[in-house]
Amino acid sequence: MEKQHKKGRLHAIERIRALLDKDSFVEIYSGVRHNCSEFGMDKKEIPYDGVITGFGTINGRQVAVYSQDFTLQGGSLGFLHGRKIADIIEAAVNARCPLIGINDSGGARIQEGVNALAGYGEIFYNNVLASGYIPQISIIAGSCAGGAVYSPGITDFVFTVKSLSLLFVTGAKVVKAAVNTDITDEELGGAEVHAEKSGVAHFLAENEKDCFSTVRRLLDFIPHYYGDKMNQTRNDSRIIPWNKSNFSKSKLKKITEILPEKQNRCYDVHEIIDCLTDDGEFLEVHAGFARNIVTGFARIAGVVTGIIANQSDHLGGVLDCDASDKAARFIRYCDAFDIQLLTLTDVPGFLPGPQEEQKGIIRHGAKLIYAYAEATVPKVTVILRKAYGGAYIAMCSRHLKADFVFAWESSEIAVMGAEGAVQILYGKDLKSGSMEFEEKKEEYRKSFMNPWTAAKAGNISEVIKPEETRGKIEAAFAFLADKKDTGKIRKKHGNIPL
């Protein structure tokens, strides 16, 4: 413990106690010891084989937990260490409760050879079995290398802590030896790298206390197992028709003032989310990664709702490879646990250019389309300002089986913006000077880009005013509360473009 404290870190058992409700932790398999006799290991005593496992409560509800002890053999994973983790995952599945792993490990225990790898194999297999049935949360509380990074990679939510968390397949020294590149461990796999660039981490905390607090908050939002309805309590809006007196009048006024007058000006979509959610309560997921799209959990009329929104304030809300991946992963999580989805659309299209094409924007964009089309939970979409081209379809349009699509009166829905469309349609006339560009652009916008054109074709459920939005989505979700998917084709599973 002293070694950890000198580094400004908590010990494995202190982390468990800080995370769980006071005095709720019950340890299991504390008597396990490694069975390796090679390389002098027969003379080494490693208490609980370097990982503490057990269960307790968070906010009064059961969770399973494990915490690796870096002070014992560097937290390295041997066969029985791995089996203890695999067993607690299995126990969490059987008990139908979330699993939280506090990871602080140098990787496979080299002295145990392939047996250590077998331990990892059992963990990975159980992670996959648990996926979609119970939430799996990984806290990176130290340096995790090699096989130690792949279990977190499978789990639903990864938490990192500034100046503490490190994740990489191989560390800086190996990178130097293998490819002759000088880089620090922090630059290679630090908390900010994974929260902002790689997208491996969903949450970035200032310190361990902040991290544990956010984990507890997340567990207040999400179902604790597939079929859990405890966090899905709907208020009286399901019985009593929504009216303005049920909701903050200041929010209704504010939402009409958020969009800039000019279409090419940016705004922060968080302001709109705040106007639509109960008490403005919103837990953002992946906040630092692919910031052109916003994902997170909120409550609407008391019901937990997954929100996906284009962020005008970053790259104009355009869809690129990372944004598509981020949103698709979030959508699939919500669908797995029956969390209703609200999509707020303001998208100019998919990001053009050789860089995105070479990264595979077609494949990544297809993931987003697949995730929305596959999701069977209640899906409500609001088009705030613009929805162009394939991105209009991809952002949960009626064609991907959104249950209801509402569009604000000032929104624009088209194959592309007016400028590009006019240049394609009237290019020759514009060059000859026989036609006025601005005049044609305004004519095209009024005739083809307004939401009523889409509404006439049945592609929009209703054109609405901004101040009507909360009422419409609340009523729509109340209507869809007992939605059941009846149109499934019998098959094993589809093939998502990974």
Pairing of strands 404-408, 379-388: parallel
From CA 189, how far away is CA 414, in angstroms rounded?
42
Determine which one of 121, 280, 390, 420 is catalytic: 390
- Name the 3-class secondary structure at 168: strand
Q: In the annotation, is 147 catalytic?
A: yes
The catalytic position among 119, 147, 189, 306 is: 147
Residue 160 near residue 140, CB atoms below 8 Å: yes
How is 212-268 classified by DSSP, letter by letter? HHHHHHHHHHS-SSTT--TT----GGGTSPP-GGGS-HHHHHHHTTSS-SSTT----
CA proximity to 345, closest of 287, 303, 390, 280: 390
Give how far Cα 477 sits from Cα of 299, 335, 482, Å.
Answer: 12, 15, 9
Which of the residues 50, 74, 146, 296 is marked catalytic? Answer: 146
Tell me which amino acid residue 189 is. G
Tell me whether residue 390 is one of the annotated catalytic residues. Answer: yes
Catalytic pick among 391, 407, 454, 478: 391
Q: Output DSSP code: residue 139.
A: E
Structure tokens at 484: 């059941």
Residue 162 and residue 207 in contact, taking contact as beta carbons nearer than 8 Å: yes
Q: How many C-beta neighbours within 10 Å does residue 340 have?
A: 25
> Rounded to an integer, what distance in angstroms lies between the CA atom of residue 288 and that of residue 159?
12
Q: Any residues with CB less than 8 A from the CB of 70 and at least 6 apart, and which?
A: 4, 12, 104, 105, 106, 142, 143
User: Hey, which residues are catalytic here?
Assistant: 146-147, 390-391
